[in-house]
Each structure stands twice: as C-alpha cells, then as structure tokens.
Amino acid sequence: MPAETLLLASGAGLLLVATLLPGDLLQLNTGPLALLEPWRLWTSQFCHWSPLHLAANLAALGGLWLVAGRALLPRLALLPLVAPLLSLGLLGVPGLAHYRGLSGLVAFLVGTLARDARWPVRLLMLGFGLKLGMDALSGTSAPFLPDTIQTTWQAHLGGLGLGLLAAWRMPALAHTAPDGAPSVSPAEHIR
Amino acid sequence: MKLRLVWSLILVLTLGGCASWFSASSRAQRGSVVEYLYPKGENPTLSPGKPELRLPLRVGLAFVPGDRYNDLGEAERSQLLDKVKGAFANRPFIAAIETIPSSYLRPGGGFANLEQAARMFNVDVMVLLSYDQIQFNDNNRLSLLYWTLIGAYVINGDQYDVSTLVDASVFDVRSHQLLFRAPGSSQIKGSSPLVKFSEASRMARAEGYRRAVDNLIPQLDQQLESFKERIKQDQVARITEKPGYRGGGEMDLASLGLIGLAALAIRLTGRRRAR
C-alpha cells in the first residue's frame, strides 16, 4: 500500500474514532502529566467539543477541497504526522488546560498552499494571516463553540507556520497542476 | 370423632399453609434524600448568597442510602448510575462525572457525610438519586386453579403492579443548595404462576428501576437546560472558570467566509478559462 494511502486512511480513522469515543479520553490535557497519555497528541486534533464545532471545521475542509482539488489529498496525508507536532506546541500555551479541534490542521492545509500562485489563493493566504493577527491582538469570537470554550488562535498560528514550513521545504507541495494534482506526492518525498 | 378432628386440623393447617404462600399484598423500598440529608427532622438552613459554580464542574453521582435489604444491589446501582453518567459525560461544562458507591454514604449522614464523599472523590456538585418503589400484589380469578397443584406451576393467577419513582436532586456541595431536580417514573404490571411469583416480581422491580432511570434522563437534561437559562436570566448561580481555560480549534465565520470566497473565485475563473 502506498505511504500516502496509508496516511490518508490513518487520518480518516483518527477522525472517525475521535468522533465516536468520549472526548474526555481523547482531548489534550496540558500540565506535568500531559505526556503520560501520548495518544492525546494525535486524537486531540481530531476530536471536538460539539457536533456544531465538528461541522464548522469539516465545512472549512470542504472549502479547501474546492480550492485545491485533488492536490489536497497529499496534503491531507500529512495530517497524522503534523498533529503531534501541533499538540506539542499547544502544551506551551499559557493558561490552556484542555484542547480539542481540527482547525489547527485546517490552518496547516492553508499554509501548504503558500506557493500556489493563483490570485484567489494568494488572497486567502493574506486574509487568513490578517485574521490571525487580529485574533492574536483582540481575541476571537467562537460562534460554533459551546459557551464555556474559547478559541485557541495559537493552534491556527502553529498550524499555519507548520504549513508554510512544509510548503517551503517540500518541493512536492510547490506546484499544483491545473487539475490540482502535484507531480510528486509529499509522502513519497518524505520516504 | 378423634379421626375427624385430626382430619379437620390437617385441612385447616394445609389451607393456612397455602394462604401463607401468598406474598404480602404490598411491599415498598425507599431511599429518601430528605432522610439522608436532614436526619432527625432537621430543618434546611437558608444560606445567603448564590452558589458559585466553578467550570468545568466535577460531578458526583450516587444513590442515597436507603433500605438496607432491597432489590437494588450495588452492581445494579452501578449500572444505572453509569447510564446517567453516559448521558451527560460529554457536556463541555462538565470536567468529569464520578459514580460514588453507596458504601461511601451513611444512612442519615447529612451534609457532613455528603461533603466527606465529595472531598474523597474530588467533586463540586452531587447528583443524589432517591427512589420510592411500591409493589402491589393481587390474585386473579385464575388463582382458584392453584388448588389443583399443577395450576400453581402453569396458571398466571398472581398479579403484580410495580410503581417506581426515581428523583435526581442536584446539590452544590459547598453551599448545600439544591440547584435543580428532575423526576423519572415507571409502572410495570404483570402476572405469573404462584411458584414463579417471587422471581417474576423481583425482575419486574429491577426493570422498574431501569425504566424509571430511562425516563429520568431526558427530564434531567431538560431541567439542566432550564437551569442554564435561569443562570443567564435570573442569575440564580455565579459562574466562574477554574484556572486554565478549555480551548477549541474552531474555524469561525470569517475564516469560513475567506475559504468560501477563494473557492468561489477559483470555480468562476476556472469556468471562464474553459470557455
């Protein structure tokens, strides 16, 4: 089985499991004992606080599919590899006790489109960057989260940063063919 | 004459014996939250101010100690508590729900005992399930056939009617205030032959608890939503956050809008090129 297919299946499996199992078992818990349950580094990025929260993130994923087409597949394959890096970064966010949500990985996908020269994608990158800056300065609204949960903009910042790094360091992510398919899969590039 | 007397005695004793086979006409099982929290007829004390709920809450769930020898064994209680726990475990304002075995609560233990258990299990709020079950037994006309002896094995001549009420009272442990409550009830009617009556009615009593808890869960959910509304509108409790917030990775409307616009622009420009 090609590495990309395996990684895509892992990502889909993680999302399915994280949606079906109780979030308490899967969310990221920061603090001194955080690394005693290492699976949370993966599952926390795929589990959600509510069905509405999940739906909003999946809608963003669907939108990115419309933007990138099939070129999104190799990028999606990277998600199971990026998830623990993003979670490790979130362990250092001051005051954060628990975390759930896919949007950090959605921000990663946005970042990987950095070398796509089409103007709507350029505008998306610019708008996303500005929005992130405003969130960091003035806080952000959370219309799709339950009352007592705050949006963790640091996850978006970390995801976008990792996405930009991937776009810069992985030539396979540099170009998107007219139909959206890259010439070399990033998973192949990693091997 | 003596022989007739002996036969009469045997007949009376036998009939008396048969009569004693029948169960008592009713039986009841109770575990009352008032008797547990206010033993010896104490009066609830009114504490000034509003309860302070620090989110996310740690919630304890327990049956109040009641009749010592009843049908609701610890394993059965635990299953029922797990059912309630399962229905509320994923609420974002609840950090954890601990089921507390009845052995940790003393009959008539009052708030002192409640606080002990709450400290032991590290919970802020306690959900106490009180119960009241009453079973009525009656014989129907078919029970006449019991005198054939075989009838006692095959004829459903005994009837039971089991009414169960389970009531969940949610207490803030620190302020001792009742936050809200919700009831659940069930009624089970059935019949069985005399020799199986004890077993059949025992199963009906256990089923009565299960159905009452099933009935309780949506009512508790409704009362919880209503309590949340009362907090917002009437400020019946003060809500504070525990140190350390809970974060969610969420794509808000602005981000969704940006992605949506980019997707739309790409579709439109793609179509123009195709023409």
Q: Closest partner residue to A148 among B55, B265, B269, by Cβ?
A: B55
**Segments forming the whole domain that contains residue B166:** 23-41+48-241
pLDDT in tens, A121-180: 888 999 989 988 888 887 777 788 877 788 889 999 999 999 999 998 887 776 554 444
pLDDT(A102) > 80: yes
Residue B171 β-bridge partners:
B126, B178
Rounded Cα distance between B30 and B116, Å, is 23
Residue B247 lies in a domain: no
Q: At what angle do helices B253-274 and A119-138 cross, to 10 degrees?
A: 170
Min Cα distance A160 → chain B (Å) is 13
Rg (CA), chain B: 29
What's the pLDDT score for residue B22?
Answer: 52
Report the DSSP beta bridge partners of residue B53.
B239
Mean pLDDT, chain A, integer: 85
Contact yes or no for B90 and A140 at CB 8 A: no
Can you list the positions of beta strands (E) in B119-209?
Answer: 125-139, 158-172, 178-192
Contact B258, A127 (CB under 8 A): yes
The CATH number given to whatever domain includes residue B127 is 3.30.160
Confidence label for A55 from pLDDT (cuts 50, 70 and 90): very high
Residues of chain B with pLDDT under 50: 12-13, 15-20
Structure-block tokens of residue A53:
């929260």
The string over B222-257, giving b where at least 16 C-beta atoms fall within 10 Å of a residue's C-beta and e elsewhere, is ebbeebeeebeeeeebebeeeeebbbbbbbbebbbe
pLDDT level of residue A69 (50, 70, 90 thresholds): confident
Asked if B256 and A59 come within 8 Å (Cβ–Cβ), the reply is yes
Q: Considering only CB atoms, which chain A residues are within 8 Å of B58?
A: none
Greatest pairwise CA separation for chain B in angstroms: 122
Parallel, antiparallel, or unpaired for β B125-139 and B158-172?
Answer: antiparallel
CB contact under 8 A, B247 and A152: yes
Distance from the Cα of B185 to chain A's closest Cα (Å) equals 28
Where in chain A are the domains? 3-190
Mean of pLDDT values over A15-34? 86
Report the distance separating Cα B30 and Cα B33, nearest Å: 10
Residue B141's pLDDT is: 80
Find chain A residues with C-beta within 8 A of B245's C-beta: 95-97, 150
CA dist A125 → A57, A113, A128, A163 (Å): 17, 8, 5, 11
Ramachandran category for residue B249: left, alpha or beta (phi over 0 → left; psi -120 to 50 → alpha): beta
For residue B271, the model assigns a pLDDT of 67
What ipTM was estimated for this complex? Answer: 0.79
pLDDT for position B13: 47
> What is the pLDDT at residue B269?
81
Q: With 0-12 CB in 10 A as exposed, 13-18 as middle and 19+ as buried, what is A3?
A: middle
- Is A22's CB within 8 Å of B245's CB? no
Do β-strands B52-55 and B238-241 pair in parallel, antiparallel, or remain unpaired? Answer: parallel
- CB-based contact A28:A41 (threshold 8 Å): yes
Q: Is residue B54 part of a domain?
A: yes
**In the numeric block, which tokens belong to residue B189?**
């009617």
Residue in A60, A128, A150 nearest the CB of B247: A150
- Residues in B closer than 8 angstroms to A21, CB to CB, are none
> In the Cβ-directed half-sphere of B202, how many Cα atoms lie within 13 Å?
11
Residue A64: closest C-alpha in chain B: B259
Domain assignment present for residue B177? The answer is yes
CATH for A3-190, options being 1.10.3230, 1.10.3300, 1.20.1540, 2.60.40? 1.20.1540
Q: How many domains is chain B built from?
A: 1
State the pLDDT at residue A148.
74
Taking contacts as CB-CB distances below 8 angstroms, the residues of chain B near A131 are: 254-255, 258
Nearest by CB to residue A123, choosing from B90, B253, B262, is B262
Q: Residues in chain A, how many?
A: 191
